[in-house]
Amino acid sequence: MNKVRTQLMLCGGTGCHATGTQEFQETLQKELERQGLAEEIKIIETGCNGFCAVGPVMLVQPEGIYYQKLKPKDVPHLVEEHFLKGRPVKKLFYVEPASKETIPNMEQIPFFAHQMFWVMRNKGAIDPEVIEEYIARDGYFGAAKALQEMTPERIIEEVKVSGLRGRGGAGFPTGLKWEFASKTPGDVKYVLCNADEGDPGAFMDRSILEADPHAVLEGMIIAAKAIDARQGVIYARTEYPLAIRRLGIAIQQAREYGLLGKDILGTGFDFDIEIYQGAGAFVCGEETALMRSIEGKRGMPRPRPPFPAHKGLWEKPTVLNNVETLANIGQIMLNGGSWYASVGTESSKGTKVFALSGDVNNIGLVEVPMGTSLRTIIYDIGGGIPKKKKFKAVQLGGPSGGCVPEQYLDTPVDYEAIAKVGAIMGSGGAIVMDENTCMVDMARFFMDFVQDESCGKCTPCREGTRRLLQLLEKFCEGRGEAGDIEIMEKLSGTIKETALCGLGQTGPNPVLSTLRYFRDEYEAHIYEKRCPAKRCVELLRFEVEPEMCTKCGLCFRSCPVDAITWQKKEVARIDKEKCIKCMTCFEKCKFDAIF
């Protein structure tokens, strides 16, 4: 007889692992055993819960109590009060910053209240390593319907009706891509999943794979039936060990249940999936480079056409979708394309998952209906900017995207609307920047990334991005000259028009978008030799303001190179010859005496 009365859904995603969830779990399990509660209360390690800023987190079911920022030291009191005496521990509840009100239930927390969970419907709700829990929440029902009741043509038609567009960045209609591959003749075809998430600040695909791997497998099975493929490959970067491990477990479980392999569900349809681990090259996120990598060749893009739907992996017709796209497919089959198309905008249907990070209070994974404004994501869900600082911009689309300034915060999440303001939807990375961010330095950071990750195959990307990086470094070091901005603009245009693949073609976007909205910062770096955000250290000089100095000596004690002289009851002084511009004194001073 099952004696379990309470389930503790403990976040076991990579983010919570990094903040100590495993130590907390071990301590909690021992305390439950010591108190004789181990048979009544079961700890279930789930995938990412989404609210990374307050991890580790735990949801107590069936009560729905949500605990945050858990530490091993909290365990004895938590077990004694909640699980023995029935009194939830308020000090571990979420606290609304504005009102200081404690909120016990997850659904009432603003971070979750403004979201719509379709792709992430199982986040924090199931054990990702137990297939029965996925099936209990309608898992594989969409695949069963597609295999037993639908023709390939009808499957493709439902996906087309849904309006689902590729969530990997380009936004190409998924149903149309499948139709191309379906109509291409061939005895051998492939279905690929792109899990080579490489954008700085992006962790959507990793979190989905860790929390709900079967949703991706189900999507691949349906795609295989649609194009008549017999083999699938998940291309995952090797830096995702937890996601890869859970994917491996999910694949094995699906085989044991007859959901992968020969004669799936007795339908006569054969399909199996394997995992291929990529070495972490950003360019391998490009579909043709990814396929070359699987073939054992150097991951370099090739010209298109022919497109992968006609000649892809091993020169065979191939469909490639990213993790989030495939995670939508099972529900579209089960509920219908019209159901999916009922949410979103005219040209962008369904929901979109964003990895919200940077200078924002509530860092985490966010899923919202298409059409939701950036302001809602950053302020209502993200909780605004820390330390009451001003919002400056949000970088969308990673290195291939662009920044969106404050005047466009009401832009809806829509492929075309985002493009109009100079950014791209991308795979869903959203890095928020406050007033202290130097936009020139930000462009330099992304260009350094693009240049480093360029495969080197085509000259515009290999040499063009290198030259752009050199110019940006000149600005940050105070060596910028009149005419450099115009050179950058011309060079960026040439790269966009002539680079071979999407990495090169979109590489100059961070430069162009920052020039579009923050040209004055570039000009300050060139003509005034000044960084308005006080971030480019080569353009800074540090001085103590005598009237502001409290003569405390904190800067003197914190300086790592003895560049500050100070005696009791005297104003500190900075030796500019010794100063290495590490900013330690500026950050340590509590009285804004150093400028």
Residue 109 corresponds to which amino acid? I
Task: Please check whether residue 536 lies inside any domain of the structure.
Answer: no
Task: Please check whether residue 336 lies inside any domain of the structure.
Answer: yes
The CATH number that applies at residue 515 is: 1.20.1440.230
Residue 119: per-residue pLDDT: 97
> Please, what sign has the CA dihedral across residues 524, 530, 533, 538?
positive
The number of beta carbons lying within 10 Å of the beta carbon of residue 114 is 17
Tell me: pLDDT of 534 over 80.
yes
Q: What tokens does 336 get? A: 């219908």
Task: Please check whether residue 93 lies inside any domain of the structure.
Answer: yes
The CATH number that applies at residue 75 is: 3.40.30.10
Same domain, 375 and 418: yes
Place 578 in a pLDDT band, splitting at 50, 70 and 90. confident
Report long-range pairs for 130-138 (Cβ below 8 Å, ≥24 apart).
131/214, 131/250, 131/253, 131/254, 131/257, 134/212, 134/214, 134/215, 138/334
Mean pLDDT across the stretch 473-490? 93
Same domain, 56 and 102: yes
> Quick check: 341 and 93 in contact, CB under 8 A?
no
> Quick check: 421 and 408 in contact, CB under 8 A?
yes
Same domain, 145 and 240: yes
The CATH number that applies at residue 583 is: 3.30.70.20
Look up residue 404 and give its DSSP letter. E
Same domain, 481 and 512: yes
The CATH number that applies at residue 411 is: 3.10.20.600
Residue 502: per-residue pLDDT: 81
Mean pLDDT across the stretch 8-32? 95
* Candidate ranges 99-103, 284-288, 379-383; pick with highest mean pLDDT: 379-383
Task: Please check whether residue 167 lies inside any domain of the structure.
Answer: yes
Tell me: pLDDT of 568 over 50.
yes
Same domain, 186 and 334: yes
Task: Please check whether residue 322 lies inside any domain of the structure.
Answer: yes
The CATH number that applies at residue 259 is: 3.40.50.11540
Same domain, 277 and 405: no
- 243-247, 290-294, 539-543: lowest mean pLDDT where? 539-543
Tell me: pLDDT of 1 over 60.
no
pLDDT digits (tens, 9 = 90+) for 333-374: 999 999 999 999 999 999 999 999 999 999 999 999 999 999
DSSP 222-268: HHHHHHT--EEEEEEETT-HHHHHHHHHHHHHHHHTTSSBSSGGGSS
More confident residue, 503 or 167: 167
Same domain, 155 and 293: yes
Angle between helices 204-211 and 323-335 (to 10 degrees): 50
Alpha carbon separation from 255 to 146, 265, 333 (Å, rounded): 18, 11, 21
Task: Please check whether residue 241 lies inside any domain of the structure.
Answer: yes
Tell me: pLDDT of 195 over 60.
yes
Residue 555: per-residue pLDDT: 85
Domain-ending residue, one of 384, 409, 434: 434
Residue 428: per-residue pLDDT: 86
Place 198 in a pLDDT band, splitting at 50, 70 and 90. confident
Same domain, 420 and 479: no
Average pLDDT of the chain to the nearest whole number = 93
- Model confidence, pTM: 0.92
Residue 76: per-residue pLDDT: 97
Structural domain range at position 415: 351-434
Q: How many helices (H) and strands (E) are present in the chain, helices listed first?
A: 23, 17
Q: What tokens does 152 get? A: 């390939």
Place 2 in a pLDDT band, splitting at 50, 70 and 90. low
Same domain, 197 and 291: yes
Residue 117: per-residue pLDDT: 96
- 118-132, 346-360, 574-588: lowest mean pLDDT where? 574-588
Q: Which of 360, 501, 495, 359 is nearest to 436 (CA)?
A: 359
Same domain, 383 and 370: yes
Please give the share of the chain, as a percent, with pLDDT higher than 70: 100
Place 594 in a pLDDT band, splitting at 50, 70 and 90. confident
> Quick check: 183 and 294 in contact, CB under 8 A?
no
Place of tokens 């899923």: 367
Domain-ending residue, one of 317, 341, 365: 341
Tell me: pLDDT of 206 over 80.
yes
Same domain, 566 and 479: no
Task: Please check whether residue 1 lies inside any domain of the structure.
Answer: no
Tell me: pLDDT of 508 over 80.
yes
Domain-ending residue, one of 527, 559, 581: 527
Mean pLDDT across the stretch 184-193? 96
Place 563 in a pLDDT band, splitting at 50, 70 and 90. confident
Same domain, 176 and 321: yes
Look at the chain and report how many structural domains it folds into. 5
> Please, what sign has the CA dihedral across residues 202, 244, 217, 55?
negative
Residue 249: per-residue pLDDT: 98
Tell me how far apart the terminal alpha carbons of the chain are, to the nearest angstrom.
70
Task: Please check whether residue 459 lies inside any domain of the structure.
Answer: yes
Tell me: pLDDT of 590 over 90.
no
Q: Which of 227, 272, 269, 274 is nearest to 248 (CA)?
A: 274
Please give the share of the chain, as a percent, with pLDDT higher than 90: 77
Classified as helix, coil or strand, 419 is: helix
Mean pLDDT across the stretch 433-450? 94
Mean pLDDT across the stretch 245-269? 97
